[in-house]
Every structure is written in C-alpha cells, then in structure tokens.
Structure 1
Amino acid sequence: MSVWDELVGQGPVVESLRDVIDNPAAMTHAWLFTGPPGSGRSNAAKAFAAALQCRDGGCGTCQSCSMVAGSTHPDVSLVRTDGLSIGVDTVRDYVRRAALAPALGRWQVLIVEDADRLTDQAANALLKSIEEPARASVWMLCATAVDDVMVTVRSRCRPVLLRTPPVSEIAGLLASRDGIDPVAARAAAAASQGHIGRAKLLASDPAARERRRAILALPLRVTSLGSCLAAAQAIAGEATARAANVADAKDEAELANLKESWGVEDRSRRPAGFAGELSSLTKDQDRRRKRLTRDAIDGVLIDLLAFCRDVVAEQVAPGGDLVNADVSADVAVAARSWSTESTLRRIDSIVECRRALEANAAPQLALERMMTGFLA
C-alpha cells in the first residue's frame, strides 16, 4: 500500500509530488499545502515527507514509511498547536531542529499544521529559516488558503493546491478502508461536504449523526426572539460539550503527568516552581478548550450553510442533488416557507457570524445575532 493511497481525489497533486521525487533537481526547501478543511493538507504533507525519506519513493511498507505514518521518524517533525496560535518560542525550537543534519533519513522535514495560526513573531522567526535553509531541511506549511499565510513566508514557498474530494471517492474510501456500507458511506460523504474525517465520523457514530440532525432542525424552529436565543444557546452548549469530550481527558492526563514529574501528590507539599508550571499548563489547556469550542461552533455553522444552500437550490432549481439528502423533507418545507431573498439573508447572517468569531467575538453574542437573522 503506497503512502499516496489515502489522498482521495488528489490525483494531480500526487502526480506532481511524485514527479519531484523522481526528479531531485525539481526539489525545493519550502512548500505550502492549501485546500479546504478535510481535503487532506497535512496528510499530503506527511505522504510527501514519507516519500522523501523512502528509498522507493513512498512504498508505504518500509521502516521509514511506517515511522512517518506513526509520527516516530526522528527526521520528520509535526508542528501543531491545541491553542489559538503558534507562538514564537515553539517555532524557534523547530528552527533549531531544522538546522540539524538528518539522523536516519535523507531530509530534516518539518510540517507546520495550521500555518495560518502562526503569530507575526513566529512567522518572522520561520522566515529566516526559509530564507537561509540548511542543506537538508524541508519546511511544509499547511493552511486553508494562501492568503492566510504571511506574504513574505508564502512568497518563498512552492504552492500545492488540494481540491475538495468528490463524494464518490470519499464513499469508496469509507467502504474499502473502513468496511462501511456503501449506501451509508455515500450519504455520510455527501453530508460531510468533502471532509474525509467528518465523513468517517458521520458514517460510524450514530450520536454524531443525531447531533447533526438536531442542528439542521433549528432553522425551522426559529420563529421568535425567544427561539433565537434558545437556538443560539443550543449551538453554544453543543459546541462546549463536544470540546469537553476531547479536552477533559487530555487535561486530566496532562495534570497527572505534571504532578508525577514533580513528585507531587494531592495532599503533599508542593515544591518551589511547581505553581508556575501548573499555571502555564492551565493557561495552555484553557486556550485549547477555547479553540476546540470555536472549531465545533464553526462546524455547526458550516452545516447550517449547507442546509440553506440546499433550500436555495430547491427554490431555484428543484429536483437536484442535495448535500443534506437525509433531511430533504425539512429542506422542502423551508423552500416553501421562505422566500429566496430571506434564505439569502440567512446565509449572510451565518457568514457574518463566522467572520465575527474569526475576529474573536464572544461566541454566545455572535450566535444570538446570527439567529435573529433567521427570523422571516
């Protein structure tokens, strides 16, 4: 099984990266992988990293390929954050690593997930390493869009643009790789809007499907100011709960590890310096929880956008394929009850909410404002 096999719907990208592997003269030291959420940006970067280290160009079975896939290769580093940004201290650590000679492979590869979250200071620290690269270092940045990365950084990177994978290919992957029923796989692939990870979750987790249906039922229930506030609270509560499901376990494990490393028990006297480490950990955990919550809210907003898109499609050109075919009855009701103009206003209110959240607005207030836009 090749390292490229799970890059669904990215044939041109795979072909171009393979050409680089086969033609070392075309290699460069900085790459920028962009594409919509779920398109596989970091997966493409990891596949490319494995292929660069592999003697056979990414066979998928050798030690190098297996180590990259398992995130244990000493010469392939993944730069990521659970918080809202990637700070300069983090980047400086990896810049120092980029200057080292490879220990096992042929390249020192550094993959920056969510490069759009680099602070200005962090981006400037990275820029120096990209401008004056070590002989065997390769930076691979991942972001949703080219414009999300500082211009001085992106101008020094070779772009790799991924597309939204086709529904048929996502469904085929779920069926062949995960053993999911083809009909369920196709429905999940359509509902995921090209997000492979979310498609797998929807296909395999009944609770996730139920949460999505509950969210998609909200637009038809908003008939008064009170229902607007209730809908906003439901979205915020759902996002907070989803974030807690991920964050609580991580918080507990990290706290236990910190106490163990300092030899601290719950009732023991705490040594000097422990309080500072605990405060730093707590701040990092709060940032992670905030990011997880905002990401969960954004996922809800994307679902609502897809629902409104289906309504417009039904109003303008009825009978076409729907993203949310499983709730087609609700789409039909909305298409009859709303005017096309009011549907577009609803879409505008969702887009405005997403922009407000990107600008760090209070989630509850932004959601309440959005839901008032759903009033006919």
Structure 2
Amino acid sequence: ARRAAVLQVPVQATSLGPALAVAAALVKSAEDEAKSVTEQLDEPEREALRQAFGEGSTGKGVAKAMRGVAGAMKDLEDRQKSRATRVKRDTLDGALLDLAAFYRDVLMVQYGADVELANADRIEDVRRLAAAAPPEATLRRVEAIMRCRERLTLNVAPLLAVEEMTISLFQG
C-alpha cells in the first residue's frame, strides 16, 4: 500500500497545490508507519523497566529502588523518541528510493534500453511520463529525489525537504 501511494506521487504532482498535498501525504504516511512500529516496541520496554525497578513488588529496599525509576524512564523515553525519528526517516528514505526507481524506469523507457523495469506493474504511468518530458528533465527529477534524501540525513524538517522535492518533480 505504501509503495502504491509513493508511485502515485509522479502522477499526482502536476502543479503546486497537488505537489504540496502529496508531500504532506508522503510524510504523514511515514509518520503513521513509524508510529505503528514504535508503539509495538515502546510499551513493553516501559513495562520491563518498571518491573526491573521493582514496581508492584513489596519488601525491603523497593521504595529506594523505585526512586531511581524516574530518571531511567526519562532516558528510555528519550531513546524511544530518537528511535521513532529514525524509523520515520528510514521509512521516508525507502519511499524515496521507490520513487527514484520509478524515474529510473522512465529514463530507461526514454532511452529505449532493453532492461527489466523495476516497476513493470506501472508501465502505463512510466510510458506516459517518459513521453511527457525529455530525459534531461527525468534526470533533474532523480537529482531532486537524491537531494531530498541527503537533506533528510542532515536533519532538515521532513515536510520541507519533501515539499521541495515534489515541487521539483512537477517543474521538471
């Protein structure tokens, strides 16, 4: 489903409004996927930490051990937040690689290369985009995708980086 949504980006980003809308949808999809992944991990980790500090236990020394749980819980939450950001960026990067592969296929069709297409299931979209622009425009689009990937590694706000990319995609 994520791949199908990603491959709609070249088809839908036809002017400024739709380009900004697909950028927002792409980032939201990455956020939702990251949230789904991290929620499955976060709560069991918090519960295990509480148990390790003796929550729910009784006996000598439990009260003293429980005083240390707040700092440890804060450290765990910081690590979990960092992991969520990393998962979101990794998910977005995977989507950008799918998009780059799509434009690679467009370029192969434009040059008439006899190679297997990564997106043979989207051949009509590939052919339509190949006919609509010269290969130089396709290369600029691939460069925009790679520039977006680079900016994400430099901690540029994901929405800003993806918006810039989708605007570049329709401008060619």
Question: TM-score surpassing 0.5?
Answer: yes
Displaced runs of 4 or more, over 4 A: none
Q: 2:4 aligns with which of 191, 213, 226?
A: 213
Q: 2:27 aligns with which of 198, 213, 236?
A: 236
The separation in 2 between residues aligned to 1:296 and 1:375, in whole angstroms, is: 23
How far 1:331 sits from its partner (Å)?
0.5
The separation in 2 between residues aligned to 1:230 and 1:326, in whole angstroms, is: 24
Q: Scaled by the length of structure 2, what TM-score is found?
A: 0.89
Does structure 1 residue 255 correspond to structure 2 residue 40? no
How far 1:228 sits from its partner (Å)?
1.3
Specify the alignment match of 2:59 in structure 1.
Answer: none
Does structure 1 residue 359 correspond to structure 2 residue 154? yes
What whole-Å deviation, never above 9, does each CA across 1:167-200 have from its counterpart, x for those lacking one?
xxxxxxxxxxxxxxxxxxxxxxxxxxxxxxxxxx
Equivalent positions of 1:304-319 (< 5 A) are: 304-317=99-112
Greater RCO between the two (CA within 8 Å, min separation 6)?
Answer: 2
What whole-Å deviation, never above 9, does each CA across 1:28-53 have from its counterpart, x for those lacking one?
xxxxxxxxxxxxxxxxxxxxxxxxxx
Q: SS at the partner of 2:66?
A: coil
CA RMSD of aligned residues (A): 1.6
The separation in 2 between residues aligned to 1:264 and 1:249, in whole angstroms, is: 21
Specify the alignment match of 1:39 in structure 2.
Answer: none
The separation in 2 between residues aligned to 1:355 and 1:304, in whole angstroms, is: 15
Q: Scaled by the length of structure 1, what TM-score is found?
A: 0.42
The separation in 2 between residues aligned to 1:318 and 1:348, in whole angstroms, is: 20
Specify the alignment match of 2:163 in structure 1.
Answer: 368
More strand by share: 1
Moved more, 274-283 or 243-252: 243-252
How far 1:320 sits from its partner (Å)?
3.7
Does structure 1 residue 245 correspond to structure 2 residue 36? yes
The separation in 2 between residues aligned to 1:217 and 1:228, in whole angstroms, is: 11
The separation in 1 between residues aligned to 2:50 and 2:19, in whole angstroms, is: 45
User: In the comparison of the two structures, how many residue pairs are matched?
Assistant: 164
The separation in 1 between residues aligned to 2:110 and 2:36, in whole angstroms, is: 38
Identity level (%): 39
Does structure 1 residue 339 correspond to structure 2 residue 134? yes
The separation in 2 between residues aligned to 1:211 and 1:279, in whole angstroms, is: 33
How far 1:238 sits from its partner (Å)?
1.3
How far 1:341 sits from its partner (Å)?
1.8
Specify the alignment match of 1:281 in structure 2.
Answer: 76
How far 1:319 sits from its partner (Å)?
5.4
Specify the alignment match of 1:299 in structure 2.
Answer: 94
> Can you give the 5+ residue segments of structure 2 that lack an aligned partner in the other structure?
57-62
Structure 1 counterpart of 2:41, which letter? K
Equivalent positions of 1:68-107 (< 5 A) are: none
The separation in 1 between residues aligned to 2:83 and 2:112, in whole angstroms, is: 43
Specify the alignment match of 1:223 in structure 2.
Answer: 14
